């Protein structure tokens, strides 16, 4: 239940964050306004609004309620059955030897109640209290004499019943254990799915970030191309450059306009996909904050391996699968063993005096049956039934062998799962280090390309280089920006993947619950 409490805390926190965000939207503008989301905003909304999380929460609720039902089976169960009334009238043939049947008319009206109180026992049996009360009004119309016989009867019964299976596994405890493990597995799967959702939202966020930054870079490139084209046009009109250079600048400017239009369309498509991923309406006008910086931090591989092995839910889920399969082996094997069932009862029964007048009231009838109950000997009995399997042509033996093979397969997979987890952690740590190293190089490359373009722009203004040289430096700058953008996104996704696979935030040195 601790896992469930943690998960509910996470969901409540996410819900409050998302609620706060929507309140902000309500008070800051209408549906046509532009809202800029940070990564954590998108994650909070997705945890509350996305289809996947809604479905997963319902799956967890299903497992939780199944577990609760198994726990409640240990508690006292009370049920009552009432017939108010049970009435019938019918023709019934009466046959006498060597005579034709006589058809008498029978009538019956009964009011009854039966109360059962059943207390399950930890030994998989139960102890019950049973009470039955009913009054029957009956009549018979005799066809031979054209007369009616009628009477009333009140029946009272109070007693104890006992049942205890012997020499077999405890189905009650096994059922509880199975649903408990299934609920724990569902909780772990929900937690893992939540981490996967966070990573997927991060991917979607940075996909939109990429298209948004690409649009910004395209806008910067378009502005630069326009400046160069305007300057080249003035120089051509002044006779300082040949016409072909001016025409080439015009072509480059038109190409930059086309690139900007394409980037704008890509951004719009990714916006719609992003809104679907986090659970917003397509009519919402949302984009992401592109002012994102990064800080370098150390990653201890041994710490990553320790946290990942201890906290990754896949390993615990596999342990649960093994425990469930062991229960299946026990249940299957028990079908070939001798079992027994012990049943016992002890009750008090009373029947009203059959010679009381038909007009006697219900209260007097009950009193009569009660007096009879006190006088009448008690009903009691014990039954011990054995079930002895003798021959099934090896069916159960094959079923047990199949269950054991499945168990061994789960054990082998768990060993492999531990290796897979360790390998994935080692690989993601290498990916983060590689992405960080490449990001640092490309950051410097972008700075150099920007400085080179600024210098080339001054030299072009002074007539020291041609427009083709300037265009080449401009292309280098754009390429450097795009390469840095790609490396930055790869680095951010690698960090998100590291958190997902180790459940540890190395940047803030804390566990991810």
pLDDT by residue (tens digit) across 85-99? Answer: 888 888 888 887 877
Residue 252: what pLDDT? 84
Nearest to 423 by CA among 503, 309, 299, 322: 309
Residue 29: what pLDDT? 41
The strand pair at 126-142 and 102-120 is best described as antiparallel
Q: What does the alpha-carbon distance between residue 272 and residue 226 come to, in Å, rounded to a whole number?
A: 31
> What single DSSP character describes residue 98?
T
pLDDT above 90 for 130: yes
Domain limits, the chain: 77-121+125-168+338-388, 300-324+424-513
What are the CB-based long-range contacts (under 8 Å, 24+) for 234-242? 235/463, 240/463, 241/466, 241/467
What are the CB-based long-range contacts (under 8 Å, 24+) for 296-302? 296/436, 297/506, 297/507, 298/506, 299/429, 299/432, 299/433, 299/498, 299/506, 300/506, 301/426, 301/429
pLDDT digits (tens, 9 = 90+) for 338-376: 889 999 999 999 998 888 888 888 888 898 999 889 888
Q: What does the alpha-carbon distance between residue 150 and residue 161 come to, in Å, rounded to a whole number?
A: 34
- 500 CB-contact burial (10 Å; exposed 0-12 / middle 13-18 / buried 19+): buried
State the chain's mean pLDDT as an integer. Answer: 84
Q: What does the alpha-carbon distance between residue 271 and residue 275 come to, in Å, rounded to a whole number?
A: 6
Q: In sequence order, what are the residues at sequence separation of 6 or more whose Cβ sits closer than 8 angstroms to the Cβ of residue 359?
A: none
Binned at pLDDT 50, 70 and 90, residue 381 comes out as: very high
Q: What does the alpha-carbon distance between residue 487 and residue 439 come to, in Å, rounded to a whole number?
A: 5
Would you call the peptide bond into 85 cis, given omega within 30 degrees of 0 as the criterion?
yes
pLDDT above 70 for 393: yes
Binned at pLDDT 50, 70 and 90, residue 74 comes out as: confident
DSSP string spanning 191-247? HHHHHHHHHHHHHHHHHHHHHHHHHHHHHHHHHHHHHHHHHHHHHHHTTSS-HHHHH
pLDDT digits (tens, 9 = 90+) for 168-179: 888 888 888 888
CB 349 within 8 A of CB 376: yes
Mean pLDDT, rounded, for 374-402:
89
Tell me phi and psi for residue 152, to 5 degrees: -125, 145
The strand pair at 35-37 and 286-288 is best described as parallel
pLDDT digits (tens, 9 = 90+) for 11-67: 344 443 444 444 444 333 444 445 678 888 888 888 888 888 888 888 888 888 888
């Amino acid at each position: 239940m601790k896992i469930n409490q943690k998960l509910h805390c996470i969901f409540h926190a996410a819900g409050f964050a998302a609620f706060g965000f929507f309140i902000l939207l309500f008070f800051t503008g209408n549906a046509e306004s532009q809202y800029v989301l940070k990564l954590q905003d998108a994650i909070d909304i997705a945890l509350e609004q996305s289809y996947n999380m809604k479905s997963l929460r319902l799956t967890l609720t299903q497992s939780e309620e199944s577990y609760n039902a198994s726990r409640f089976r240990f508690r006292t169960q009370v049920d009552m059955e009432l017939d108010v009334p049970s009435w019938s009238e019918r023709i019934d043939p009466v046959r006498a030897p060597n005579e034709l049947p006589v058809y008498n008319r029978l009538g019956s009206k009964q009011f009854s109640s039966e109360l059962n109180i059943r207390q399950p026992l930890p030994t998989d049996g139960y102890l019950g209290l049973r009470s039955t009360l009913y009054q029957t009004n009956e009549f018979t119309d005799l066809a031979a004499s054209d007369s009616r016989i009628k009477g009333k009867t009140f029946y009272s019964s109070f007693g104890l019943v006992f049942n205890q299976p012997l020499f077999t596994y405890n189905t009650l405890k096994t059922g509880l254990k199975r649903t408990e493990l299934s609920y724990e597995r569902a909780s772990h799967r929900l937690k893992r799915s939540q981490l996967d959702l966070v990573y997927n939202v991060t991917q979607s966020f940075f996909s939109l970030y990429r298209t948004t930054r690409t649009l910004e870079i395209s806008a910067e490139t378009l502005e630069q191309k326009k400046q160069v084209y305007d300057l080249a046009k003035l120089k051509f009109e002044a006779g300082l450059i040949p016409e072909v250079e001016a025409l080439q600048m015009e072509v480059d400017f038109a190409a930059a306009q086309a690139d900007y239009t394409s980037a704008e369309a890509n951004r719009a498509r990714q916006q719609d996909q992003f809104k679907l991923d986090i659970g917003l309406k397509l009519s919402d006008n949302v984009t992401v904050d592109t002012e994102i910086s990064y800080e370098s931090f150390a990653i201890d591989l041994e710490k990553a391996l320790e946290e990942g092995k201890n906290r990754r839910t896949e390993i615990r889920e596999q342990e649960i699968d093994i425990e469930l399969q062991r229960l299946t082996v026990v249940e299957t094997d028990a079908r070939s063993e001798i079992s027994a069932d012990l049943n016992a009862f002890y009750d008090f029964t009373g029947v009203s005096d059959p010679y009381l007048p038909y007009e006697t009231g219900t209260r007097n009838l009950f009193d009569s049956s009660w007096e009879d109950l006190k006088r009448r000997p008690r009903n009691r009995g014990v039954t011990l039934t054995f079930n002895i399997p003798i021959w099934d042509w090896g069916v159960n033996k094959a079923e047990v062998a199949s269950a054991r093979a499945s168990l061994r397969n789960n054990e082998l997979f768990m060993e492999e799962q531990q290796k897979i987890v360790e390998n994935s952690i080692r690989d993601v740590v290498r990916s983060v280090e590689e992405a960080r190293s490449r990001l640092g190089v490309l950051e410097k490359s972008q700075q150099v390309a920007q400085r080179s373009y600024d210098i080339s722009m001054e030299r072009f203004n002074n007539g020291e280089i041609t427009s083709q040289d300037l265009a080449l430096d401009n292309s280098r700058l754009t390429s450097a920006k795009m390469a840095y953008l790609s490396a930055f996104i790869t680095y951010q996704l690698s960090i998100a993947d590291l958190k997902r696979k180790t459940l540890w935030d190395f940047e803030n040195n804390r566990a991810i619950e």
